[in-house]
Amino acid sequence: METSNDFLESVRKQFEYYKMLGDKTFAQLTDEQLFQHLTDESNSIAIIVKHLWGNMLSRWTDFLTTDGEKQWRQRDLEFDNDIADRTELLAKWNEGWACLFNAIDPLTANDLSTVVYIRNQGHSITEAINRQLAHYPYHIGQIVFIGKLLCDKNWKSLSIPKGNSTAYNIHKFAQAKDKTHFTDEYLKEQP
């Protein structure tokens, strides 16, 4: 049975995994592609990053003591395309993630039932984490999808490459059963 500490460890690894997917997507794209809109109504990767950054700073700053929708947040402005370049984009991306990890790293199993608020709506810490663990992968999936469209045939798969499932499964089932987190093999590959 999974304990609450297992939950917190799993959450951290899952957030790290989704950050890694974004990092590996950015690395495959030109500076121009990071700011490219596929349609007049679509968001560029830069705008999605800016929205994630704004959300992360709002949700995770003073996580245990203030509402997750900060009065200083200007959500509508997160969709303005005013990030100057890749350097600023990556700075915002990393600042948002640092805020998140700084908020969740000190948590213990005893904290999980504590109530925090988002727009005056009470959430247990477990619920608040799960809310963001659904929200961020939604947008990171958009980032990866846009990246894949822009790279087309030059795209380097971030998971099991198309046509390699059988070989991958043969390799996995040839190993002894082991209790590891699904992200461990992906996160080991990080520089």
Residue 94 has pLDDT above 70, yes or no: yes
Other Cβ atoms within 10 Å of 130 Cβ, number: 14
Residue 63 has pLDDT above 50, yes or no: yes
Model pLDDT for residues 131-179, shown as the tens digit of each residue: 999 999 999 999 999 999 999 999 999 988 888 888 888 888 888 888 7
Structure tokens at 109: 């199993």
Percentages of the chain per state (helix, strand, coil), in multiples of 5: 60, 5, 35
Provide mean pLDDT across the span 65-81.
94
Question: What distance in Å separates the CA atoms of residue 174 and residue 176, rounded to the nearest whole number?
Answer: 7
Which range has the worst mean pLDDT, 42-46, 79-83, 187-191? 187-191
Of 128, 101, 99, 103, nearest to 114 by C-alpha is 128
Other Cβ atoms within 10 Å of 97 Cβ, number: 21
Domain at 101, CATH number: 1.20.120.450
Q: How many domains does the chain have?
A: 1
Structural domain boundaries, residue 72: 4-188
Which pLDDT score is estimated for 5?
78
